[in-house]
Amino acid sequence: MGLFSFLTQELAIDLGTANTIIIHNDKIVVDEPSIVAIDQKTGKLVAIGERARQMHGKTHENLKTIRPLRDGVIADFNAAEQMIRGMIKMINTKPRLFTPSLKMVVCIPSGSTEVEVRAVRDSSEHAGGRDVFLIYEPMAASIGIGIDVEAPDGSMIIDIGGGTTEIAVVALGGIVCNKSIRVAGDGFTTDIQTYMRHQHNIKIGERTAEEIKIHVGSALPDLDDPPLDFIVRGPNLMTAMPVEIPVSYQEIAHCLDKSITKIESAILNVLEQTPPELYADIVQRGINLAGGGALLRGLSKRLMDKIDIPFHVAEDPLHAVARGTAIALKNVDKFSFLMR
């Protein structure tokens, strides 16, 4: 740390479709849903993060809730910039004589196009970032789990986030082969909404579908430690009368089956492209799971049965990418070859 370190604030940002996490001085200072509420008339920011999430699906015509990121990339530039700015303000609550210049490392999906990369960089710069470095999510997740990414051994990481599932083989400080598919947590939520509509004739919102996923979400129809049924309340589509329906984890396992099969075939696709020497390393070490999707009950067992390689769920899968981004930020010189 130099003499003028107080003039610069270093932030590691995991800009996720579902949640945004900011780490400052090795501490998670912001962990909020990636959502903003904006006043339609003035264009002003009304709420951000958890407060905006509570308004989601309950707003009137003057108020609009926006999720600035879709499928891991920025869909609404203005809202994204306001969200990043607002979340940075959450850290700097004390009044200061001057605004410190910001040095940021932000992570991006490995399948991002040049335009998408540019959008993240521009949003971060507009929100006050002076030095903005970008790192690919699978790389950040690998560093966050504690894998030595510079070693000559191959490691495979699967990061199931909100918008995308990132699958990558990492060796010698680079991504050897990877695939980024747009089937992830948000896709599971949509599957549950569709299933409830078709199967039970009940209309539910995004938030309720999310709750079903957390309480009774499962990748397998028979679990050793099954969760209790979740009671869903909502209007019957035919009669508009209120109904209460218990939902079991077996039903959710059935309705998520298609999406999980897509993730399985993407993993097999990456393994096919993997050079044989690295493939041998992966079989020996196992495959690492990170991201919120890794918390889905029975997922690692299902993948292990299908692919016949051991799967390890990261210790704190939700924060693995953010922690890796923070480590990269502390060692920008060492990891500069990973940055964009």
Q: Indicate which CATH number applies to the domain containing 57.
A: 3.30.420.40
198: tokens are 């078709």
260: tokens are 């999980």
pLDDT of residue 95: 64
In whole angstroms, what is the distance from residue 288 CA to residue 300 CA?
A: 9
| Pairing label, strands 129-136, 101-108 | parallel
Whether 274 is covered by a domain: the verdict is: no
20: tokens are 């945004």
Report the number of distinct structural domains present in the chain: 1
In whole angstroms, what is the distance from residue 237 CA to residue 284 CA?
A: 51
42 CB contacts (<8 Å, ≥6 apart)? Answer: none
Return the number of other C-beta atoms located less than 10 Å from residue 79's C-beta.
23
List the domain range (segments joined by +) for residue 30.
Answer: 5-140+321-338
pLDDT of residue 93: 65
Whether 200 is covered by a domain: the verdict is: no
Whether 243 is covered by a domain: the verdict is: no
DSSP 274: S
Whether 39 is covered by a domain: the verdict is: yes
DSSP 89-153: HHH--S--SSPPEEEEEEEE-TT--HHHHHHHHHHHHHTTEEEEEEEEHHHHHHHHHT--TTSSS
**How far, in Å, are 17, 83, 117, 126, 133 from residue 73 at the CA level?**
8, 14, 8, 17, 16
Identify the H or E element spanning 223.
none
- b/e map 145-160, b = 16+ CB within 10 Å: bebebeeebbbbbbbb
pLDDT of residue 2: 47
In whole angstroms, what is the distance from residue 294 CA to residue 283 CA?
A: 19
Whether 315 is covered by a domain: the verdict is: no
Whether 50 is covered by a domain: the verdict is: yes
In whole angstroms, what is the distance from residue 273 CA to residue 103 CA?
A: 36
Whether 54 is covered by a domain: the verdict is: yes
- Give bridge partners of residue 17 from the DSSP assignment: none
**pLDDT per residue as tens, the chain (340 positions):** 444 556 788 999 999 999 999 999 889 999 999 999 999 888 889 999 999 999 988 888 899 999 999 888 889 988 999 999 999 888 876 666 667 788 899 998 888 889 989 999 999 998 888 899 999 999 999 999 999 988 999 999 999 999 999 999 999 988 999 999 999 999 999 999 999 999 999 999 999 999 999 999 999 999 999 999 999 999 999 999 999 999 999 999 999 999 999 999 999 999 999 999 999 999 999 999 999 999 999 999 999 999 999 999 999 999 999 999 999 998 887 777 667 7
Whether 252 is covered by a domain: the verdict is: no
Decide if 35 contacts 56 (C-beta within 8 A): yes
pTM across the whole model: 0.89
